[in-house]
């Protein structure tokens, strides 16, 4: 955005004001115009003849919405005669405009108000509006990302009873996560959630019109799986590729903040995978994916494999988190698996097929695989057989120890063949969260919690129950935020 010099705009405003008019000045961020703003501005307008509003620059703390959008919103108000985008703090604009009055909210009364000295220099006044104007609708939007309601979680006692444990017993499993050495490999994804204000329906075509007002960025893909593992207490190494771009730099910083030792190899042929979700009134209106899906260059593949070889003897668990964007070609999977089997390191895998196509059965000799029903049937090319038959066919094809088959709102089908047994056993867990806010990331949470539980010595029944509790916690909030061991422990003892 090209910014017009404030001095030139102020000269124009002074010329536009009627001769002898009493000028009133108000300044602020004005991220989203709310009732408190309207009361303040109407009060200011009533105090004089010509109301001028200064919109703070983008560098001002709390200025979240793009400056031009904030300026346009203020200009659209009927009580405002003129508005300008400030270049710095309001003092320079006040000195140049020389208004008769400067109006601020009553919450500023009794505080340090640097405008007073400027106004005193030419005999103007500072007054305070009545009423509270500190309400911010931005905070209402932020609540959608941060609020979590534990009352929506309803755990079952029947499943634990069938398998000889109670939920409280799993606290010992979670405590064993501390210090576990986990290696996560897979596609990195950045998720942008863009909260929008609904404007209405376009008069030109049947299109919904919205204004973006708040953006929140989250780590996604295998990156959040690694962050979950670190949050649960593990010492985590994460291997992936990124583009040579800002989202890739952001991911490095965020992974470091989450305590993940990340080796993100730059790939100049692809951007860092970025997914944008535009939301309004608690609903996702549109998703836009910025990505490329070609397989890794052999040189990058060799670099990742060399790190795995160096880490394999100091690893307790390997997790493949595959989103089928090219980070895990078959040759790399087979090479890593061979080293893991030779070293006795357990492996688990998840291969997602939503907008892309994957095959969970290409991950062989896993301790656990966690497909959705659709992903399992896609791998088998079988959309007719019953779920238990499909789960057993997939287990045999992938030579997997256990299968957790996710059924969305219907919960999880747990399927296993115990060592030395000839008949597989199947049971089902219902979904624990009755009112999910955002189902994205539920499978990732279930996968890493169940995988770490199995690696720590728990059986599949305890592991899958623990994973279901983790998933219930995750879907109770918007966006991917790393799960913490304390979160799990609190829910298990509730």
Mean pLDDT, residues 445-459 taken together: 96
Q: Is the pLDDT of residue 311 over 70?
A: yes
pLDDT digits (tens, 9 = 90+) for 208-256: 887 787 788 999 999 999 999 999 999 999 999 999 999 999 999 999 9
* Planar angle of CA 278, 282, 286, nearest 5 degrees: 25
Give the model's pLDDT for residue 144: 53
The CA distance from 180 to 175, in Å, is 10
Mean pLDDT, residues 261-268 taken together: 95
Q: What is the SS3 assignment for the chain?
A: CCCCCHHHHHHHHHHHCCCCCCEEEEEECCCCCCHHHHHHHHHHHHCCCEEEEEECCCCCCCCCCCHHHHHHHHHCCCCCCEEEECCCCHHHHHHHHCCCEEEEEHHHCCCCCCHHHHHHCCCCEEEEECCCCCCCHHHHHHHHHHCCCHHHECCCCHHHHHCCCCHHHHHHHHHCCCCCEEEEEECEEEEEEEEEEEEEECCCCCCEEEEEEEEEEEEEEHHHHHHHHHHCCCEEEEEEEECCCHHHHHHHHHHHHCCCEEEEEECCCCCCCEEEEEEECCEEEEEEEECCCCCCCHHHHHHHHHHHHHHHHHCCEEEEEECCCCCCCHHHHHHHHHHHHHHCCCEEEEECCCCCCCCHHHCCCCCEECCEHHHHHHHHCCCCCCHHHHHHHHHHHHCCCEEEEECHHHCEEEEECCCCCCCCEEEEECCCECCCCCCCCHHHHHHHHHHHHHHCCCCHHHHHHHHHHHHHHHCCCCCCCCCCHHHHHHHHCC
Residue 4: pLDDT band with limits 50, 70, 90: very low
Give the model's pLDDT for residue 5: 57
Question: Which contacts of 277-284 are long-range, i.e. CB under 8 A and separated by 24 or more positions?
Answer: 277/191, 277/192, 277/193, 277/194, 278/194, 278/196, 278/210, 278/212, 279/144, 279/193, 279/194, 279/195, 279/196, 280/195, 280/196, 280/197, 280/198, 280/210, 281/198, 282/144
Q: Is the pLDDT of residue 136 over 70?
A: no
Query: Does residue 67 or residue 436 have the better pLDDT?
Result: 67
Q: How far is CA 7 from CA 12, 13, 20, 433, 469, in A?
A: 9, 10, 21, 57, 59
Mean pLDDT, residues 360-379 taken together: 95
Residue 149: pLDDT band with limits 50, 70, 90: low
pTM over 0.85: no
Q: Are strands 101-105 and 23-28 parallel, antiparallel or unpaired?
A: parallel
pLDDT digits (tens, 9 = 90+) for 85-99: 998 889 999 999 999
Give the model's pLDDT for residue 106: 79
Give the model's pLDDT for residue 140: 52
Give the model's pLDDT for residue 16: 92
Query: Does residue 120 or residue 422 have the better pLDDT?
Result: 120
Mean pLDDT, residues 161-188 taken together: 95
Give the model's pLDDT for residue 3: 39
Which residue ranges form the domains of the chain, and what is each CATH number? 6-135 (3.40.50.620), 148-188+227-273+292-492 (3.40.1190.20)
Give the model's pLDDT for residue 283: 80
Mean pLDDT, residues 274-293 taken together: 87
Mean pLDDT, residues 295-322 taken together: 95
Q: Is the pLDDT of residue 133 over 50?
A: no
pLDDT, the chain, mean: 89
Give the model's pLDDT for residue 22: 96
Q: Is the pLDDT of residue 449 over 90?
A: yes
Q: Which two tokens stand for residue 127?
A: 């007054």
Give the model's pLDDT for residue 343: 95
pLDDT digits (tens, 9 = 90+) for 184-213: 999 999 999 888 877 777 777 878 887 787
Closest to 87 in 3D by CA, of 130, 65, 56: 56
């Amino acid at each position: 955005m090209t910014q017009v010099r404030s001095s030139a705009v102020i000269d124009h405003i002074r010329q536009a004001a009627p001769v002898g008019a009493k000028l009133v000045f108000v300044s602020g961020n004005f991220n989203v115009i709310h009732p408190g703003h309207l009361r303040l501005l109407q009060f200011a307008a009533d105090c004089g003849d010509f109301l001028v509003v200064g919109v703070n620059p983008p560098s001002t703390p709390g200025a979240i919405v793009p400056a031009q959008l904030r300026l346009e919103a203020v200009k659209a108000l009927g009580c405002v005669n003129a508005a300008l985008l400030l270049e710095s703090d309001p003092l320079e604009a006040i000195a140049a405009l020389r208004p008769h009055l400067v109006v601020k909210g009553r919450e500023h009364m009794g505080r340090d108000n640097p405008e007073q000295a400027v106004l005193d220099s030419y005999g103007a006044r500072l007054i305070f509006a009545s009423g509270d104007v500190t309400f911010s609708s931005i905070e209402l939007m932020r609540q959608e990302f941060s609020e979590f309601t534990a009352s929506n979680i309803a755990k079952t006692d029947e499943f634990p009873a069938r398998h000889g444990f109670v939920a409280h017993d799993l606290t010992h499993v979670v405590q064993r996560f501390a210090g576990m050495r986990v290696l996560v490999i897979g596609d990195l994804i950045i998720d942008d959630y863009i909260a929008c204000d609904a404007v209405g329906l376009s008069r030109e075509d049947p299109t919904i019109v919205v204004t973006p007002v708040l953006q929140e960025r989250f780590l996604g893909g295998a990156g959040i799986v690694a962050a979950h593992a670190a949050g649960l207490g593990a010492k985590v190494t994460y291997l992936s590729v990124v583009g040579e771009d800002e989202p890739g730099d952001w991911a490095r910083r965020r992974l470091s903040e989450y305590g993940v030792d990340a080796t993100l190899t730059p790939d100049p042929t692809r951007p860092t995978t970025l997914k944008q979700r535009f939301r309004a009134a608690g609903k996702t209106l549109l998703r836009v994916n910025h990505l490329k899906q070609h397989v890794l260059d052999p040189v990058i593949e060799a670099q990742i494999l060399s790190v795995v070889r160096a880490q394999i003897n100091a690893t307790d668990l390997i997790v493949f988190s595959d989103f089928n964007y090219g980070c895990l070609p078959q040759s790399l999977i087979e090479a890593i698996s061979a080293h893991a089997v030779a070293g006795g390191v357990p492996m688990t895998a998840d291969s997602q097929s939503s907008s892309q196509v994957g095959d969970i059965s290409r991950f062989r000799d896993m301790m656990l695989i966690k497909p959705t029903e659709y992903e399992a049937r896609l791998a088998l090319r079988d959309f007719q057989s019953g779920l238990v038959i499909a789960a057993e066919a997939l287990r045999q094809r992938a030579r997997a120890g256990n299968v957790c088959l996710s059924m969305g709102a219907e919960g999880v089908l747990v399927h296993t063949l115990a060592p030395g047994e000839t008949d597989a056993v199947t049971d089902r867990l219902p979904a624990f969260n009755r009112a999910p806010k955002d189902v994205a990331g539920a499978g990732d949470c279930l996968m890493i919690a169940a995988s770490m539980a199995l690696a720590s010595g728990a059986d599949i029944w305890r592991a899958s129950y623990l994973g279901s509790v983790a998933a219930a916690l995750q879907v109770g909030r918007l966006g991917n935020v790393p799960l913490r061991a304390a979160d799990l422990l609190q829910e298990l003892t509730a």
